[in-house]
Amino acid sequence: MMASSYNAKEEDGHHSGASGPGGGTAVKSKKPDNTAFKQQRLPAWQPILTAGTVLPAFFVIGLIFIPIGIGLFVTSNNIKEYEIDYTGIEMSSPCFNCSQNFSWNSTTPCKCSVSFSLDQPFESNVFMYYGLSNFYQNHRRYVKSRDDSQLNGDKASLTNPSKECEPYRTSDKKFIAPCGAIANSLFNDTLDLFFIDPNGTRTRIELVKKGIAWWTDKHVKFRNPGGNNLNLTAVFIDTAKPVNWRKPVYELDTDQENNGFINEDFIVWMRTAALPTFRKLYRIIQRKNSMTPTLPRGNYTLDITYNYPVRSFEGRKRMILSTISWMGGKNPFLGIAYITVGSVCFFLGVVLLIIHHKYGNRNNSADIPN
């Protein structure tokens, strides 16, 4: 009791005048400080939302959003995009055959080519994407199935990758590099683009395969083990290739700067897509000079080495050619949304103005000032 009553005194700041161990301390007035903070009188802005106070904001928002929306819309419309589905679902599709007989391990690649024509020239740099639909790269267990340390060049992880990679962790009693389901399911179609001159000659269009991955991924996140050791074969000697791969990771490219874990196609694939329908950057077609468009009007052929199976999950494969702007790829949605929201705000502003004039005054006469 005593201890607690002393406690209570301390806590309560109450002095009963008892000369106990707790009460004998220097006595000072318990009067609370008269500060704005303690008395809850801090100067405050009191936003009260009424039609009168809010309606200017609505007009302002309307006035800002509509121009932005128009800008976005125009920009999006200026972006040229061409998309071609080469899955080969229909019998008529040139890739129908390839899509039918499939095995991950077939040694003879199935090739098909799709022709298309561009109605408009693509002026600036053109980005070539491959698109997959109904491919759940964001599946929880799929997303996890990788070992970032291994990909970062960590020697220990190379030969002992994370458990998360199971069941793509070992193969033939060797550890897989790169391990995990993501790497295992690497997109391995090869796309080649040819321009068909009106005279019928096929001109191969140069596809740049570097610079398609994020700079940070290429230079920081992904690293080959063994540092600057250029002999990747030796580095990866104790590892197995992913089950579905045709060739090991150190043979992805002949260019050492683009081989092994820092192969950009690989890096792009490893950045798993957010949504089941996605595209990934495949190649860049760089503009040669300012005089000629990157992709002139005319006929093209897309040569496909058809390796990647999608029919089991009713997926689709696409090739997309697109120019880009400051806002990225073509997407009319933002522009339209901005224009709509801006207009709605403007309209609401008008409604509020009416309300304010009709009721604001009435309230004013009674109680409510504005």
Residues 249-308 that bind another protein (CB under 8 A): 271-281
Q: Which stretch binds another protein (CB under 8 A): 90-98, 116-124, 288-296, 324-332?
A: 324-332
Task: State in angstroms the smallest separation of the CB of 312 from another protein.
Answer: 5
**Which of 86, 122, 135, 261 is the binder for another protein (CB under 8 A)?**
135
Q: Is 26 in the site for another protein (CB under 8 A)?
A: yes
Q: Which stretch binds another protein (CB under 8 A): 146-154, 171-179, 226-234, 291-299?
A: 146-154
Structure tokens at 140: 């929880």
User: How many residues sit in the footprint of another protein (CB under 8 A)?
Assistant: 123
Q: Is 176 in the site for another protein (CB under 8 A)?
A: no
The residue (of 150 and 294) whose beta carbon lies closer to another protein is: 150
Q: Which stretch binds another protein (CB under 8 A): 109-117, 170-178, 289-297, 357-365?
A: 357-365
Structure tokens at 22: 């707790």
Amino acid found at 98 = C
> 240 and 165 in contact (C-beta within 8 Å)?
no
**Which of 21, 56, 211, 227 is the binder for another protein (CB under 8 A)?**
21
**Which of 23, 109, 226, 296 is the binder for another protein (CB under 8 A)?**
23
The residue (of 230 and 344) whose beta carbon lies closer to another protein is: 344
Q: Per CB under 8 A, which of residues 91..130 are in contact with another protein? A: 129
10 Å CB burial of residue 232 (0-12, 13-18, 19+) is buried
What is the distance between the alpha carbons of residues 79 and 73, in angstroms, rounded to a whole number? 10
Amino acid found at 221 = K
> 33 and 13 in contact (C-beta within 8 Å)?
no
Q: Which stretch binds another protein (CB under 8 A): 163-171, 191-199, 227-235, 283-291?
A: 163-171
Chain-centroid distance of CA 209 in Å reads: 20
Q: Is 349 in the site for another protein (CB under 8 A)?
A: no
Strand (E) or helix (H) holding 60: helix 51-78
Cβ neighbours, 10 Å, residue 91:
8
Task: State in angstroms the smallest separation of the CB of 248 from another protein.
Answer: 19
Alpha-carbon separation of residue 171 from 11, 174, 236 (angstroms): 68, 5, 14
DSSP 184-201: HT----EEEEEEE-TTS-
